[in-house]
Amino acid sequence: MSQPLSLKLPPLSLYIHIPWCVQKCPYCDFNSHGQKGQVLPESEYVSHLLDDLTEDAKLVGDRAIHSIFIGGGTPSLFSAQAIQTLLDGVKKRVNLLVDAEITMEANPGTVESQRFADYVKAGITRISIGVQSFQPEKLAALGRIHDENQALNAVKLAKNIDLNSFNLDLMHGLPKQSLEDAMFDLNSAITQQPPHLSWYQLTIEPNTQFHSKPPKLPEDELLWDIQERGDELLKQAGFEQYEISAYSQVGQQCQHNLNYWRFGDYLGIGCGAHGKITLANKNQIVRTVKVKHPKGYMDLTRSYMSDKKVVPSEDLPFEFFMNRFRLLEPCPKSDYSDFTGLAMDDGTKKNLQIALNRGLLVESADEWRVTQLGRRYLNTLLEMMV
Ligand SMILES: C[S@@+](CC[C@H](N)C(=O)[O-])C[C@H]1O[C@@H](n2cnc3c(N)ncnc32)[C@H](O)[C@@H]1O
Ligand code: SF4
């Protein structure tokens, strides 16, 4: 086993989970519940989130928070007033940097102009819009509550308010999708000139409607053509790919997600939220998970924490590389010992050497970098690091 070294504190961010949506999409395995026409317990939930943060804040003291991501679920179901109370409460409990990136996810079926402007007044600096597709039959197949005009309207609203940035989420590899369909979606997104684009390949997840009743998806060869042609199109349009599914204009990467992939620390508050915190004084990294279901989470007789454990040192090499090798930027070798607290053991050295020999990685004295081949066979590369 490798020798423990002193852990350094990586940058810290905060994830906040809002667990409700208008209705559940058939492909989605996120921790979200259809609203079923009910009025959401908005102010009650915000007050629980803040109590949850009061507890978590003890783990981080006055460490600076560099970014916040309010995800879900559909956070845009919450009023601007609720988001304002939430962010004001966050600022009272932790040391939020004044220029922190604060992202909120929004569903095009739940936005209107005054609300968008008020989110910005509340402190939101970046909005992530779940467009998924610009084709009506694809949106219907995905069970989305919005149509393509609502998607375009949401983008227009995002452009007209004082945001630092915004993102569009698109998916590909959709039921009955052709290469032309996928390129139509990408071209429609590019025309809107978003600073950031997340372009995910649809995956069929256990415990979803699509898993129990699988739709017919494009064959592997077509999926590969979509990926290659899409990458080319985005490159020509000036987007830089910096992670498997993330593309941005210059300087517009999502700081919050970058911190995850660089093996940074994050607090996670809200139903089912995960956190990862380095405790330098104990030379430990802990992972936290909050109570998943809203009923249990808001039960005053229970703790918000459902699981908190120290990451065993034998798990750290894989956890580090699994995140780090998703990024296309080179990985400084010093980050490995700084943020895992481990000297490189013989097994990890051997795994890296195999990946280098197979052309999945290249290295210099100070850095590793995933090659084009490594990107194509990322799962193989990651499996090698176990
Ligand atoms: C947490 S979801 C939330 C965004 C927001 N609730 C919405 O759907 O508009 C973030 C993104 O993950 C992507 N996503 C969700 N389920 C997926 C799946 N099974 N395969 C690929 N991408 C998925 C979608 O693009 C989605 O916008
Ligand atoms: S709106 Fe987003 S989070 Fe909600 S069910 Fe659909 S994909 Fe999942």
Q: Is 27 in the pocket of ligand 1 (CB under 6 A)?
A: yes
The answer to whether position 197 is within a domain reads: yes
Instruction: Please check whether residue 321 lies inside any domain of the structure.
Output: no
Residue linked to tokens 């040192």: 313
Strand order in 126-132's β-sheet?
240-243, 246-248, 196-201, 165-172, 126-132, 95-106, 64-72, 12-18, 265-269, 274-279, 284-290, 305-310
* Residue finishing a domain among 208, 242, 259: 259
Average pLDDT of the chain is 96
Same domain (yes/no): 118, 215? yes
Distance 130 CA to ligand 1 centre (A): 7
pLDDT tens digits along 149-191: 999 999 999 999 999 999 999 999 999 999 999 999 999 999 9
Does some domain include residue 246? Answer: yes
Instruction: Mark whether 242 and 339 lie in a shared domain.
Output: no
Q: Give the separation between CA 103 and CA 93, rounded to whole angstroms.
A: 19
Of the CA atoms within 13 Å of residue 314, those in its CB half-sphere come to 2
Ligand 1 pocket check for 203: Cβ under 6 Å = yes
Q: How far apart are CA 379 and CA 109, in angstroms?
A: 35
Tell whether 45 is covered by a domain: yes
Domain boundary among 229, 259, 289: 259
Q: Would 142 be classed as within a structural domain?
A: yes
Is the bond preceding 73 in cis, omega lying within 30 degrees of 0? yes
Considering the domain boundaries, does residue 82 fall inside one? yes
Q: Do 194 and 93 fall into the same domain?
A: yes
Query: Measured in angstroms, how far is the CA atom of residue 109 from the centroid of ligand 2?
Result: 11
CA of 73 to the centre of ligand 2 (A): 6
- Examine the fold and report which residue of 259, 276, 300 is the final residue of a domain before the chain moves on: 259
Share of the chain above pLDDT 70, in %: 99
Q: Are residues 252 and 349 in the same domain?
A: no
| Residue 249 CB contacts under 8 Å (≥ 6 apart), including other chains | 195, 196, 238, 239, 240
Domain count, the chain: 2
User: Per the domain annotation, does 96 fall within a domain?
Assistant: yes
Residue to mutate, 18, 29, 32, ligand 2, most ligand atoms under 8 Å from C-beta? 32
| pLDDT band per the 50, 70, 90 thresholds, residue 111 | confident
Q: Is the CB of 133 inside a 6 Å radius of any atom of ligand 1?
A: no
The model carries a pTM of 0.97
Is 191 inside a domain boundary?
yes
Q: CATH number, domain at 68?
A: 3.20.20.70
Residue 163's domain spans which residues? Answer: 12-259
